[in-house]
Chain A
Amino acid sequence: MMQFKQLFRRRTEPRRQRVLAVASGGGHWVQLQRLMAAMDGHDITFVTTLESYREEVPDSARFYCVRDASRWNKFGLLRMAIQLSVIVLREQPDIVISTGAAAGYFCLRLTKLLGGRTIWVDSLANADCMSLSGQRIGRHADLWLTQWPHLARPEGPFYQGAVL
């Protein structure tokens, strides 16, 4: 009888999702934090490039720090891709959300390959054009958003408001 009730409840409430929230240190991280209210009630894991953010993360969330790299440093990118692969394989996220930059791009691609769903919210700092990662992520993001209405296109990226 108890089991039957639980089955019923699962149908009416949204299923608890494993969410991987990824952002480089600085502006990307600050913007990601402003989106996390949308993830209330889900199982959150943060990935970033600055160890000192660990103390800002709630106890209920897991936290990983990876060595940062930009597109100018191929060896660094490879090292970061390996670190991120281990994290994605271990966490098996249902959803990954990122505001950028390179670390978020990798996690979206990897999660997509494993069958998860992906959200890209391009940084507010990119007011003239989408970031390079944001342009390239394109169809690999199931929800592909810009924070500037003038950068939205009918085929995506879409505009659905901003973090400010």
Chain B
Amino acid sequence: MIFVTVGTQLPFDRLMKAVESWAIRNKRDDVFAQIGPDRAYRPRHIKWANFISAPECRRRIEEADLIVSHAGMGTIISALELGKPLIVMPRSHELHEHRNNHQFATVAHLGARATVRVATNAEALAKDLDEMANWGASKPIAPSASPQLLSAIRFFVNSGADLATDPVLATE
């Protein structure tokens, strides 16, 4: 099962059409897509819903072998937490897919991860789909933030100190 999701705010027709034509070429009938608002392109060859609830989204990630999505942090983190390979396509400002190009910045700074691929066009997406469609699950990441971040917050909550007045923490 391949799960495609574009988040709740905006449609992402370029991604949807690329996945649909790959599914047709490869005769895959086990693709499900969450396509976004009403004006979104409605694929005819893959099953879809405009929106699904957050718990259902998580269940579908859990059940899928591969996730394809826009470069939203919610899906990226959920896929990593559930140990699922992921292909992200950042939304382009020039193609009116988002208000700005921040999804490109997000993926550029997230850096290399073995189970996450970044595809910026339909050809790259098809190539990654060919390669990753049979990968299966990988090792999930830990369910919590970095120990450094957790201890900074814990220290603040329990002690009442804050960074502005604590030179040791501030320069760490």
Contact = CB atoms under 8 A, between A and B. Distances in A.
A164 B145 CA distance: 6
A128 B105 contact: yes
Interface in A23-49: 25-27, 29-31, 34-35, 37-39, 42
Give the interface size class of chain A: 35 or more
Given A27-B74, A30-B73, A37 B145 contact: yes
Interface in B80-108: 80, 102-103, 105-106, 108
Interface string A137-156: 00000111101100000001
A70 to B, nearest CB: 9
A135 interface: no
A124 interface: yes
Interface residue SS majority, chain B: helix
B41 interface: no
Contacts of B103: 125
A157 B162 CA distance: 12
Nearest to B58: A56
A30 B153 contact: no
Nearest to A36: B144
Contact of A123 (B73, B151, B154, B160): B73
A29 B7 CA distance: 13
A156 B149 contact: no
A143 B163 contact: yes
B54 A50 contact: yes
B79 to A, nearest CB: 11
Given A27-B74, A34-B77, A164 B146 contact: yes
Interface string B135-172: 00000010111111111111011111011100001101
A121 B150 CA distance: 11
Top 10 A-B pairs, shortest CB-CB distance: A27-B73, A161-B149, A161-B148, A161-B146, A14-B158, A160-B152, A52-B53, A38-B153, A27-B74, A127-B109
Interface of A: 14, 17, 19, 25-27, 29-31, 34-35, 37-39, 42, 50, 52-53, 55-56, 95, 97, 117, 119, 121, 123-128, 142-145, 147-148, 156, 158, 160-164
